[in-house]
Amino acid sequence: TLLTGSYNILLGSGVTMDSRNSRGDNLPSSGQLRRDLCNIVGAPNTTSLTRISGLLTNEQRDEALTQRFSECSPGPSLRHVPRFLWRRLFTFNIDDVLENLYAGDGNAKQTLVPINFNAPFEPTPNKSELLTIHLHGWVRNPDIGYVFSASEYVRIMTGLNPWMHVLSEILATEPFIIAGTSLNEVDLEYYLSHRTSATPRRGRGPSLLVQPDPDVVTRADCERYGLVLVHATFGDFMDWLHSEFPSPPNIVDLVVPDTSAMFSSQPKPIELIKFFSDFELVQAADMPLPGVPSRFMYGREPEWRDLYQHLDIERKDNSLLIDDIKQRLASNTIEEHQVVIILDEAGTGKTTTVKRVAHDLALSGTTVLSVCTNSRIDTETAKECLKHISTKVLLLVDGIADHVEQIVELLEEPNVVSKTLVLGTERSYRRGYLDVVFGNAGFTIHNLRKLSAEECEQLLERYRRFGLVGEHDAIQNPSRFARQLIGDPVAIAVCRIMNDFRPLERIIASLWEASMPDDRLAYLCVALSEHCHKVGIRYSVLQAIAGPKAPIRHLFGPEKPLSLTESPVNDDYVLAANSIVAESVLLRAARSAPETLF
């Protein structure tokens, strides 16, 4: 988790006590700052920081806070922070230590993007940039003010401040390193209130609290919130990390593949980083069937490894599409339609088909790029890099409606359209939107054929091999049972194979009845989100909907009646495990209990 840049970091004043301000003074701890402010206004030394900060005049605030914490030089405790990749950085500190740390480090792996607490929400950028959110204000925006008093906390939290809500949601589920702060601050207690020992996501590194002097309360809080206590100063902890991982990977190592044969002239490194944050280069491999089924067999969208291992079946549409695309790529003229879209209902196998086509074309030497971002494509960078592509390229866009505006913009560039063919998928109910955006440029529609008798037998045999056939007689007479599946969308056929060949409505009813109310709510949220936007819903948002007492992670896996599965594209998202089940459940819920959805 650390080496892939997936850790968030949350810092308090304890990490900057060996940093110095422009006067040459060490920056104070929160306790020392409180006592200093008490002396300034003549209040008792026991007065809390939240109360004393509200008594400062504008002149006192400028002198004691803005000037004192400006133009700071970072201390040795922070020196190794820029050596690692971080997902996001949150800080309670108002100083500019971090900004000066990254600006003065020529080997920093990321560029710092400072954000004050009042700034509008921005999506997480590519890994080359590190959003750094000042939760209490920032000396470079002194006119906005600082957040210390209890009334200011309440006012900002109740005002739907986006960054405070983001932190409260992701702190419950994502891996964090928390340092330089105890757990008894007013706002930190609020952020942690959404977290229990059960809410963190599975398969992620643990969240850590780095604390040099933990007491019994701190230890109890770590147990309560599922935090691993690191008994050390932050500087010692970072020194240890650096000694364990002296050469952590940089962004190019993580993001950019070998492009030596791909470009006629190499784009700039920063352009490559941005480009391969939006696209992945499809690699091809030929591997035997595995000994155990993957999650693809239970309804999840296929990962590339599933294609390498031939877990899918050979469909007639695969060869027809491959022949069509080869002809288009071989043409020396720009076709009327440079976009081919498989437009069909949910559960027909659109994603599996285009991935098989893309894989087989890549295996034969075609350059294939696949969109891998859930956010908007950086079209300017994409144009610049695609200009340098040395051969024609197939661009795979699964769920093309989510990126159609950027695809149209790319194809308006002459140097791009002349060498780019787009292969996309989309559900048929989004046809109207695609027509509007593509306009006169248009696109070619490919509808998948219904499963033939031969394809149904292939499918049944694949599930028999892994022991996933729900009806014993189907093993004895596969041809007869395969005929029952002819004409079904592949997702319905799979559901029936695994559930005694019952009609889909009966399967859905049994799944619904077998699920707990909390499971149903979570599944409906994911299914509805996926219906509207292919990438689904953020894990942290779903956990916030369910609440800290209903951990989402127990809903994953094929053993759950209505299970969820994590997206292979972006680890911020989860998807419904099976699109046809998701849509059928939505229809059932809308008919039987519409108030559940709205």
Average pLDDT over residues 296-306: 90
What is the predicted pLDDT for the residue at 362?
A: 96
Give the pLDDT confidence of 398-412 residue by residue, as tens digits. Answer: 999 999 999 999 999
The pLDDT mean for the chain works out to 89
For residue 355, what are its two tokens?
Answer: 């991935």
Model-level pTM?
Answer: 0.85
What is the predicted pLDDT for the residue at 555?
A: 80
Place of tokens 């005694």: 500
Instruction: Locate all alpha helices (DSSP H) within 150-229, ordered by sequence.
Output: 150-158, 162-173, 186-192, 216-225
- Whether the per-residue pLDDT at 174 is higher than 80: the answer is yes
Average pLDDT over residues 320-338: 82
What is the predicted pLDDT for the residue at 333?
A: 63
- Whether the per-residue pLDDT at 355 is higher than 70: the answer is yes
**3-class DSSP assignment, residue 360:** helix
Interatomic CA distance for residues 506 and 296, integer angstroms: 23
What is the predicted pLDDT for the residue at 148?
A: 77
Average pLDDT over residues 333-352: 85
What is the predicted pLDDT for the residue at 334?
A: 54
Interatomic CA distance for residues 289 and 301, integer angstroms: 17
Q: Average the pLDDT over each of 310-319, 350-359, 539-548 and give the range with the smallest value.
A: 539-548
- Whether the per-residue pLDDT at 142 is higher than 60: the answer is yes
Percentage of the residues of the chain whose pLDDT score is greater than 70: 95
Pairing of strands 420-427, 339-344: parallel
Average pLDDT over residues 300-322: 94
What is the predicted pLDDT for the residue at 26?
A: 95
> What's the Rg (C-alpha) of the chain?
27
Interatomic CA distance for residues 313 and 453, integer angstroms: 13
The confidence band for 150, taking pLDDT boundaries of 50, 70 and 90, is low
- 3-state SS of the chain: helix, strand, coil percent to 5? 45, 15, 40
The confidence band for 66, taking pLDDT boundaries of 50, 70 and 90, is very high
The confidence band for 97, taking pLDDT boundaries of 50, 70 and 90, is very high
Residue bearing the bigger pLDDT, 288 or 331: 288
With beta carbons less than 8 A apart as the criterion, state whether 226 and 178 touch: no
What is the predicted pLDDT for the residue at 485?
A: 93
Among 400, 364, 314, 374, CA closest to 538: 374
- Whether the per-residue pLDDT at 23 is higher than 70: the answer is yes
Give the pLDDT confidence of 488-546 residue by residue, as tens digits. Answer: 999 999 999 998 898 888 988 898 888 888 888 888 888 888 888 877 888 888 888 88
Interatomic CA distance for residues 82 and 106, integer angstroms: 10
